[in-house]
Amino acid sequence: MTSVTGRPAMTGSLRRMLIPLALAQFICSFAGSNMNVMINDIKTDLDTTVQGVQVCITLFLLVMAALMIPCGKLTDRWGRKRCFMAGLAIYGVGAVLSAVAPGLGVLILGNSIFEGVGTALLIPPVYILTTILFTDMKSRAWAFGVISGMGGIGAAMGPLIGGAITTAITWRAAFIFQALIIVIIVLLARGITDPLPADPTRPFDTVGAVLSAVGLVVLVGGIMAADSNLVLMAVLMVVGALILAGFFAWIRRREHAGKEALLSTSLFRNRTSNLALVTQNVQWAVLLGTAFVVSAYLQVVRHYNAIETGVIFTAATVGILLSSLAAGRLAKRFQQRSLILAGFVVTIAGIIVLLAMVKGHPGAWYFAPGLFLIGVGVGVMLTPSVNVVQSAFPENLQGEISGLSRSVSNLGSSLGTALAGTILVAGLADPTRSYGIAMIVLAFIGLIGLGATILLPATEPAPSRAGG
């Protein structure tokens, strides 16, 4: 069966191809949050500090953000399936290397570098293939709902599964679990077909790739330096901003010269997409920032072990799972803007509840209501935000917008972990106060996302069909 566009309509084969794509998003999101419950175990085993583990977690998210745009562009040159399989292989090597790490340096190499690079290679094809395989808005929204839902569930399940494995066996076994999932995805991915041929002759903007990656790394590095040297923080953030400004000047210059740039500047002329990208960034900043702050507080301050910490995060997992399962039905009844708006309201309310109920109460279950609301809120808005962005551009720009979209989301994850984590780590002398400050900062970040959502158009425009 084919659609009016000549491509396959919703069939069993399409659904089967969606399984490895959704699983890939699950395991990458899982990797971004499961280390949060291993902080004490890794700190003790590798003779490092809480800040050392935070650096490892943040670098993993940052490497993904820095390389997602170049890797999204490479999918056109190398082919989407080839990039997907290469990313899986590199990720698998990183997981095994992390499992046998004798020290923090090797853990950073395996987890932050290899797994980060592997994720940057495999995630853009997930969204590009979904966009070009599921051609009508309804099936595409459903497919994005499955993938985004698996991403949210992976991020929320990371603490629970990681905590259970760490407590029952060792934190190293959690990386073996990741490697096994990668093997399963590789086997399932053999049936994926790439509808568009690769173009090996397509030019690649190396200078743009370097400028964008270095700019993001330096900018986030400045945030991470805040707890030790405010002058260094300011210098790095200014330098990072200048490098990114140089990147935008470079791609504009290449376009004016008639050459292909790493990113088309037309991607930034779509107001709806720009605002939706802000919401994506904020969603992941709040989710991963909350995960790190609450996990570190529970382990370092209240001395909970990995499984106890993971169990507490079950509330967020249930919230994301329930809202993700309802995403398809909600999309039929409400506009995407309304869902994103409701998601931010519920998420911010969750942070307020978390702060209000935890203060002065030693019991672990006082965390549950707030975490549940945060999970519900994030789960409600993950899918519509992705769909608004991806559907705003034609197929010839899907490689670029997918890379930009995933980069913005992972940049949000790294910024949330770096900013909130730095506030918490810097204030461990007065942990209750620093915990409160970190969560208040995340609430203000959520308000930025809420503001961007309010500015989204009330009516949803039809997907663009032109390159501009």
Which tens digits make up the pLDDT trace of 30-61? 887 788 888 889 999 999 988 888 889 888 88
Cα-based angle 457, 459, 460 (whole degrees, multiple of 5): 90
CATH code: domain of residue 441: 1.20.1250.20
Residue 365 is encoded by which pair of tokens?
Answer: 């279950």
Residue 117 and residue 216 in one domain? no
pLDDT bin (cut points 50, 70, 90) of residue 85 is very high
Number of domains in the chain: 2
Residue 325 and residue 357 in one domain? yes
Whether residue 7 lies inside any domain: the answer is no
Span 93-121, average pLDDT = 95
Q: Minimum mean pLDDT among 21-25, 81-85, 237-241, 420-424: which range?
A: 420-424
Domain span at 167: 12-193+262-455
Residue 226 and residue 318 in one domain? no
More confident residue, 329 or 446: 446
Span 308-333, average pLDDT = 82
Domain final residue pick, 261, 281, 302: 261
Strand-pairing partners, residue 87, are none
Residue 145 and residue 270 in one domain? yes
- H or E segment at 32? helix 12-33
Whether residue 466 lies inside any domain: the answer is no
Residue pair 51/227 in contact by the 8 Å Cβ criterion: yes
Query: 201: helix, coil or strand?
Result: coil
More confident residue, 216 or 144: 216
Distance from the Cα of residue 422 to its chain's centroid: 19
Identify the CA nearest to 310 among candidates 301, 298, 324, 325: 298
Distance CA 294, CA 337 (A): 29
pLDDT bin (cut points 50, 70, 90) of residue 6 is very low
Segment 377-389, tens digit of pLDDT? 998 998 888 888 8
DSSP secondary structure code for residue 429 in this structure: T
Q: What is the largest CA-CA distance in the chain?
A: 64
Residue 33 is encoded by which pair of tokens?
Answer: 């949050």
Span 416-425, average pLDDT = 79
| Top-confidence range, 33-47, 237-251, 292-306 | 237-251
Neighbours of 100 (CB within 10 A): 12
Distance CA 155, CA 158 (A): 5
Whether residue 3 lies inside any domain: the answer is no
Distance from the Cα of residue 244 to its chain's centroid: 20
Residue 293 and residue 386 in one domain? yes
Distance CA 431, CA 312 (A): 19
Span 447-468, average pLDDT = 71
Residue 299 and residue 152 in one domain? yes
Which amino acid is located at 274 in the chain? N
Residue 247 and residue 266 in one domain? no
Residue pair 16/71 in contact by the 8 Å Cβ criterion: no
* pLDDT above 80 for 148: no
Whether residue 467 lies inside any domain: the answer is no
pLDDT bin (cut points 50, 70, 90) of residue 4 is very low
Phi/psi for 391 (5° steps) reads -80, -5
Hey, what's the torsion of the CAs at 49, 53, 58, 60, to 10 degrees? 140
Distance CA 468, CA 456 (A): 19
Identify the CA nearest to 133 among candidates 280, 277, 5: 5
- Check residue 318 and give its pLDDT: 86
Whether residue 151 lies inside any domain: the answer is yes
Distance CA 38, CA 43 (A): 8
Query: 233: helix, coil or strand?
Result: helix
Distance CA 79, CA 89 (A): 16
Which amino acid is located at 341 in the chain? L
Residue 35 and residue 152 in one domain? yes
* Half-sphere exposure in the Cβ direction for 166 (13 Å, CA): 26
Average pLDDT, the chain: 85
- Check residue 276 and give its pLDDT: 92
Residue 301 and residue 166 in one domain? yes
* pLDDT above 80 for 362: no
Distance from the Cα of residue 50 to its chain's centroid: 22
Phi/psi for 227 (5° steps) reads -80, -10
Residue 120 is encoded by which pair of tokens?
Answer: 């940057």
Whether residue 343 lies inside any domain: the answer is yes
Domain final residue pick, 261, 278, 295: 261
Whether residue 200 lies inside any domain: the answer is no
Nearby residues of 74 by Cβ (< 8 Å), 6 or more positions away: 83, 121, 204
* pLDDT above 70 for 26: yes
Identify the CA nearest to 209 among candidates 294, 307, 117: 117
DSSP line for 314-344:
HHHHHHHHHHHHTHHHHHHHS-HHHHHHHHH
pLDDT above 70 coverage of the chain, percent: 91
Domain final residue pick, 215, 242, 261: 261
* pLDDT above 70 for 29: yes
Neighbours of 15 (CB within 10 A): 13
Nearby residues of 438 by Cβ (< 8 Å), 6 or more positions away: 289, 293, 420, 421, 423, 424
Residue 302 and residue 175 in one domain? yes
- Check residue 408 and give its pLDDT: 85
- H or E segment at 62? helix 50-78
Residue 58 is encoded by which pair of tokens?
Answer: 């943040």
In Å, what is the CA distance from 462 to each residue of 177, 250, 390, 391, 393?
42, 31, 12, 8, 10
pLDDT above 90 coverage of the chain, percent: 35
Residue 47 and residue 164 in one domain? yes
Distance CA 468, CA 458 (A): 22
* pLDDT above 70 for 439: yes
Residue pair 315/371 in contact by the 8 Å Cβ criterion: yes
Neighbours of 11 (CB within 10 A): 11
Span 117-130, average pLDDT = 89
* pLDDT above 70 for 461: no
Residue 251 and residue 381 in one domain? no
Whether residue 199 lies inside any domain: the answer is no
